């Protein structure tokens, strides 16, 4: 059998904010068999990969390389020749100091198909999120991007300093914090006004974004005093007058909040989207891969009631009857739900539903959902009486999600954990059971917020200390609580 042809996508991931990834970048990332990513890629971008995708960290650090560029080139060629869909994920735009031409040349020489997917470059993205437009009718009609270091032993950039100083209104230096004394000295020697305003934007477009304002004659000293480090963009020019106080990004109500929102299924949460819209960085964890049952022995026609435990069980049911070729018109059972989401999903299939309180006694009931514990079955039996149970789908943890958790934790980007229900407490604890991240350890470093008394009791039972409970278990109350915490800090 002929091997399928592979393809390599050289993708710009943007400056940090995951929502700045282009639509095309998102699409190819979702279908990739292999992803090679750099150090500055936001960990949450990898949550969009397939559960079985091979994730390879290229790990470039200053003065230390886990994979040298030549090895990365060889790996891209190898994976492409194996017939894989490969994504090389780079920060910003791959053509702006991303060495994309070298990777493209290697792929071209090996006759491996490739495409380049541009991204928002950091000089523009970070500046915009700091409230500074890189061009402006009053302050600057030209804009240049310049590397802040080179590959020589000294690492000092080699550029035409006179042309930059005299001919360009706005200059964005990439990763040049270490060389700021050299950069500012050469600009001054070549005629740049010492009072030219400068902004250093560290971790631009992310929740930990910081902006240092200075002038060309003071920036090196100020950066040293404030202990500014890369990743950072140094923006030189009069456009910096546009920054007056905090930017639109920094004024968002939940700016600077780093939240882990505990999940119980693979569906995205509308609450999470609301938190992100207000400026928070949110990680939904754990991540699950859903496997629907292929059991052909179950006969839905034998039951008076089908009780759906979740929207996912509704999806599983309709997939299952399609797979086994059963016409829904032959099923005479009432459809029973325990959530409005399940009822809404059933109505999308033109099916009505009732609640458990509307069920008539003495009916033969089939419960559909994921595997339940004996305690859960016993609790359900008190409401339903005797019932049969069909495991219509199973959930498996996605290992990549655990790696995302570890990296965010190590970088101090998990400050609050939100438990929306009792089950979410169990899921998080089980997912981390074989790691060093015990409830006790987590409680020492993060704020734990529970939606209500039931989830709070489960959190205390499992070892989470100092958990807080929302007075009203809803999204609005959570946002208020997070906003209050931010003001307190």
CB 157 within 8 A of CB 131: no
CA 99 to chain centre: 25
- For strand 85-90 and strand 34-37, is the pairing parallel, antiparallel, or unpaired? parallel
For residues 248 and 128, give the distance between their C-alpha atoms in angstroms, rounded to a whole number.
9
**Could you give the residue numbers annotated as active site?**
38, 60, 175
Q: Tokens 């026609």 belong to which residue?
A: 301
Q: Tokens 């990004």 belong to which residue?
A: 249
Main-chain phi, psi angles of 481, to 5 degrees: -65, -45
Q: What is the pTM of this model?
A: 0.88
CB 275 within 8 A of CB 415: no
For residues 131 and 248, give the distance between their C-alpha atoms in angstroms, rounded to a whole number.
6
pLDDT tier at 2, thresholds 50, 70, 90 = low
Beta strands in 238-327 (DSSP E): 258-262, 281-285, 288-292, 305-308
Which uninterrupted H or E stretch holds 11? strand 7-12
- Please tell me the predicted confidence (pLDDT) of residue 78: 97
pLDDT tier at 489, thresholds 50, 70, 90 = very low
DSSP state of 433: T
For residues 83 and 106, give the distance between their C-alpha atoms in angstroms, rounded to a whole number.
17
CB neighbour burial string for 467-482, b if at least 16 within 10 angstroms, e if fewer: bebbeebebeebbebb
Main-chain phi, psi angles of 70, to 5 degrees: -65, -40
CA 215 to chain centre: 35
Instruction: Answer whether residue 65 shows pLDDT above 80.
Output: no
Domains in the chain and their CATH numbers? Answer: 7-120 (3.40.1010.10), 124-242 (3.30.950.10), 258-287+398-488 (3.40.50.10090), 296-394 (3.40.50.10090)
pLDDT tier at 488, thresholds 50, 70, 90 = very low
- Please tell me the predicted confidence (pLDDT) of residue 419: 97
pLDDT tier at 60, thresholds 50, 70, 90 = low
User: What percent of the chain is modeled with pLDDT above 70?
Assistant: 97
Instruction: Answer whether residue 148 shows pLDDT above 80.
Output: yes
CB 117 within 8 A of CB 9: yes
Tokens of 196: 């030219």
330-344, pLDDT tens digit by residue?
Answer: 999 999 998 898 999
CA 204 to chain centre: 16
Alpha helices in 111-230 (DSSP H): 122-129, 161-167, 180-189, 219-225
CA 423 to chain centre: 23
- Please tell me the predicted confidence (pLDDT) of residue 249: 97
285-337, pLDDT tens digit by residue?
Answer: 999 999 999 998 899 999 999 999 999 999 999 999 999 999 999 999 999 99
CB 131 within 8 A of CB 252: no
Beta strands in 302-454 (DSSP E): 305-308, 334-337, 354-355, 365-369, 388-391, 393-397, 416-419, 447-450
222-273, pLDDT tens digit by residue?
Answer: 999 999 999 999 999 999 999 999 999 999 999 999 999 999 888 788 899 9
- Please tell me the predicted confidence (pLDDT) of residue 135: 96
- Please tell me the predicted confidence (pLDDT) of residue 3: 66
Q: Is the dihedral of CA 364, 367, 372, 377 positive or negative?
A: negative
25-43, pLDDT tens digit by residue?
Answer: 999 999 999 999 998 899 9
Beta strands in 227-326 (DSSP E): 232-236, 258-262, 281-285, 288-292, 305-308
Q: Which of 283, 207, 213, 284 is nearest to 252 (CA)?
A: 207
Mean confidence (pLDDT) of the chain: 92
For residues 419 and 425, give the distance between their C-alpha atoms in angstroms, rounded to a whole number.
6
CB 134 within 8 A of CB 172: yes
183-217, pLDDT tens digit by residue?
Answer: 999 999 999 999 999 999 999 999 999 999 999 99
Tokens of 377: 């079955």
């Amino acid at each position: 059998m002929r091997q399928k042809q592979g393809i390599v996508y050289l993708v710009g991931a943007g400056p940090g904010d995951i929502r700045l990834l282009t639509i095309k970048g998102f699409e190819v990332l979702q279908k990739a068999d292999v992803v090679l990513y750099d150090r500055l890629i936001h960990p949450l971008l990898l949550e969009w990969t397939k559960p079985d995708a091979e994730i390879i960290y290229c790990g470039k650090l200053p003065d230390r390389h886990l994979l040298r560029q030549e090895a990365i080139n060889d790996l891209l060629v190898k994976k492409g020749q194996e017939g894989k869909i490969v994504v090389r994920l780079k920060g910003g735009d791959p053509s702006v100091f991303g060495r994309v031409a070298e990777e493209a040349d290697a792929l071209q020489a090996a006759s491996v198909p490739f495409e380049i997917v541009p991204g928002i470059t950091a000089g523009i993205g970070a500046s915009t999120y700091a409230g500074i437009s890189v061009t402006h009718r009053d302050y600057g009609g030209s804009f240049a991007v310049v590397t802040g270091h080179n590959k020589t032993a000294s690492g000092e950039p080699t550029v035409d300093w006179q042309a930059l100083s005299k001919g360009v209104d706005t200059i964005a230096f990439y990763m040049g914090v270490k060389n700021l004394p050299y950069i500012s000295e050469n600009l001054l020697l070549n005629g740049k006004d010492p009072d030219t305003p400068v902004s250093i934007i560290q971790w631009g477009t992310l929740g930990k974004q910081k902006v240092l304002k200075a002038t060309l004659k003071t920036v090196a000293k100020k950066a040293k005093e404030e202990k500014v480090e890369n990743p950072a963009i140094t923006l030189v020019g009069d456009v910096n007058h546009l920054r007056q106080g905090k930017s639109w990004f920094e004024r968002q109500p939940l700016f600077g909040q780093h939240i882990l929102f505990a999940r119980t299924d693979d569906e995205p949460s509308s609450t999470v989207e609301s938190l992100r819209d207000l400026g928070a960085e949110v990680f939904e964890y754990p991540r699950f891969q859903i496997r629907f049952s292929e059991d052909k022995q179950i006969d839905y026609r034998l039951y008076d009631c089908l009780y759906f435990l979740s929207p996912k069980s509704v999806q599983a049911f309709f997939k299952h009857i399609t797979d086994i070729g059963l016409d829904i018109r032959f099923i005479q059972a009432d459809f029973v739900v325990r959530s409005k989401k399940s009822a809404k999903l059933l109505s999308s299939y033109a099916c009505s539903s009732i609640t458990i309180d509307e069920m008539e006694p003495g009916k033969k009931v089939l419960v559909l959902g994921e595997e339940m514990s004996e305690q859960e079955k016993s609790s359900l039996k008190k409401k339903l009486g005797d019932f049969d149970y069909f495991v219509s789908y199973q959930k498996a943890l996605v290992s990549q999600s655990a790696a995302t958790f570890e990296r965010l934790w190590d970088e101090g980007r998990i400050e609050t954990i939100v438990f929306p229900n009792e089950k979410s407490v169990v899921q998080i604890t089980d997912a981390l059971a074989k790691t060093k991240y015990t409830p006790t350890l987590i409680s020492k470093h993060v704020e734990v917020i529970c939606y209500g008394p039931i989830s709070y009791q489960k959190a205390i039972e499992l070892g989470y200390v100092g958990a807080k409970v929302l007075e009203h278990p809803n999204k609005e109350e959570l946002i208020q609580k997070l906003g209050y915490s931010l003001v307190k800090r």
